[in-house]
A and B are shown apart, each in its own frame.
Chain A
Amino acid sequence: MRTKLFAVAVAALFAASPALAQQKLKIGFITTLSGPLGVIGKHMKDSVELALDHLNRKVGGLETEVVYGDDQAKPDVGLQVAKEMMQKDNVDIVAGIIWSNVMLAVVPAVTETGRIMVGTNAGASPLAGAQCNERYFSTSWNNDQSPEALGKYMQDQGINDVYVLAPNYQAGKDMVAGFKRYYKGRIVDEVYTRFGQTDYQAEITQLRSKSPKAVFVFYPGGMGIQFLKQYSEAGLRGTYPLYSVFTVDEISIPAIKHAALGQYEARFWSPDLKVPASQKYVADFQKKYGHLPVFYGAQSYDGILLIDSAVRAVKGKVKDTKGMIAAMRKANYDSIRGKFTFNVNHHPIQNFYLLKAVAGPAGKDPVLEIQQTVFKNHKDAYYKDCKMKW
């Protein structure tokens, strides 16, 4: 008797969510919201909210609810959040995710339930290659495409004697591999630093002793801010030009300010991109939140628009997975990157640009400005490993 009562109590405790109305679309959006890395997640969440505003809170014409989940940048937590969304909140589609490791853990779990997953940042190469999946779409890029573009640019410029620095983890090595795929000149030295390192003075001293012609780095998040501050503190800004990927962006510039000036980056998008959909997104984002958006946000905004286009195409029949996939493959919407097509592996074929940090409006922080197009309609290096047939 006691046991039974207890079981009923447990059941009552757990039965919190009410039954769903059918005319509704539920999207689960996973990103990192807590902890020091939550700043990126905030940009993504804000951009999703902006997309919902633009769509009058109706994605594909359906009443929409977005459930946000915090993965704490941990794969197992991300997986748990995804399962909670699918099993408890009954979301129809899962989207988001910043980190490759979280993505690699979550994608199989989502797609094996028959749901569609839209990745809006992490670009793990296995998902573009051998592990590609018909229910997984990306509105971002593959990790090493940006360094490929930078490598191509530096190769074209005939820059020689490059010093390479990156954190000692998978993405760091991927970035350097991508760089070297297109840059064929001399590399003075290739140095991997501890992941999460804060002081780079020792590495900077080593670098100076080698007198390279240029420096290529990949230092995402806090590591980049620390590296750049110390780099310009050491007075190397004017001496050895610095080229980077995923190091300087609209999140880090407010923290480094003038130390960013003169920095080269490569990317598929920048707030100054002259594409109407992008300009609308940037203007309204600034109006709503008072600061510039960053590519993490742009991709997330784009992800919601992609879902919107597909749900419209299937007339709200979200459960029609085949129809959804076919509609998504058309990429029939006004993307922030302009018109583009999906490759066979469901990753965009898109342009990559060279960006430079230049002085912003008087009294304001520097801004990134597009200098030139490095790649037109660039495909990632892995799609040939993807066995998907359209």
Chain B
Amino acid sequence: MPPLTLVFEQLLNGVQFGVMLFLMAAGLTLVFGIMNFVNLAHGSFYMIGAYLTLAAVQWSGNYIAGVVLGLAGTLLVGMLVEVVALRTLYARDHLDHVLATFGLILFFNELVAIIWGRTLLDFPRPEWLRGHVEIFAGSRYPFYRAVVILVGLAVGAGLWYVVTRTRLGMLIRAGASNRTMIAALGVNVRLLYTVVFGFGCALAGLAGLMAGPIYAVLPGMGEMILIQVFVVIVIGGLGSIRGAFVGALLVGIVDTLGRAFLRPLLATMISPTAADSAGPALASMLIYLLMALVLAVRPEGLFPSRGR
């Protein structure tokens, strides 16, 4: 494989990872931007999306039907959680949010373990999503991952359209900047919040169901990606969809390239044995270093949302 092809393919890998992070980050940052709510349990909806879709695919025997049912299910679970548990917490400080949703993580992980067991489950992908695409000579890129990239970009574009061009988006933006005002104008803010929360959960569910066939479906799968998602939204600027998008791609690419090239790069500078031990350690810390760096320069992230 020529070096340029390798770098290009690794970039593509980074973009694909970034897109998954974006789907997670979008919902989280939306909820934060509008309700000023910190949801640690966002990863649980990623997990719920994967499990519900898997169950629905097995029940209906149809992948597309399963995806639709799974997304609808995640949306409903999200709205239910918002109404039952989280709604009362909006007025509280972030500390209470962190703790209550920490409790939700424990609950959902264990609940999933009770229902589906702790065994890792296989999430088969339909025949038409298998195989490879040759983006250019010599590269064999998995078709499924290419589809993930496209879906992610499409969702990003769709989100941009909804938030900037529709009435719902207008309400969302208005709700973010002045809650009392839009409530006075007769908008049902409670309902708006519930819908937005459920919608954010469904986005996480989408990331989860797309992750299912690549990764494993298991209780606690959400927490494996959650911390990286937080890094994304902090880099991007809390509450900013645009920031989440840029931050996600940045983190995805930096993490992937770091894993691929940092050790060989270090080996040209220090002894190979030293590079062997320093490389992997540094690669795992890279995104946190990136975050510290961004915050040192821009304490509110790359795209601070206005009014906050």
Contact = CB atoms under 8 A, between A and B. Distances in A.
B9 interface: yes
Contacts of A202: 10, 13-14, 256-257, 259-260
A257 interface: yes
Nearest to A167: B280
Contacts of B10: 202, 205-206
Interface SS majority for chain B: helix
A331 B260 CA distance: 49
Interface in A102-130: none
A39 B117 contact: yes
B134 to A, nearest CB: 12
Interface in A10-64: 34-39, 42
A222 interface: yes
Nearest to B125: A233
Interface residues of A, number: 38
Contacts of A208: 1, 140
Contact of B284 (A39, A194, A201): A194
Nearest to B6: A209
Interface string B260-290: 1001000000000000100111011000000
A203 to B, nearest CB: 7
B118 A168 contact: no
Nearest to B255: A202
Contact of A34 (B110, B122, B124, B284): B110
Interface residues of B, number: 47
B299 interface: no
B145 A201 contact: yes
B109 A36 contact: yes
A201 B219 CA distance: 22
B213 interface: yes
B119 interface: yes
16 contacts: A35-B220, A36-B109, A36-B220, A168-B280, A191-B263, A195-B284, A201-B13, A201-B16, A201-B256, A202-B10, A202-B256, A225-B216, A255-B120, A255-B121, A255-B122, A255-B217
Interface of A: 34-39, 42, 168, 190-196, 198-199, 201-203, 205-206, 208-209, 222, 225-226, 229-230, 233-235, 251-252, 254-257
Which 6 residue pairs spanning A and B have beta carbons closest together?
A: A255-B120, A39-B118, A36-B220, A168-B280, A225-B216, A192-B280
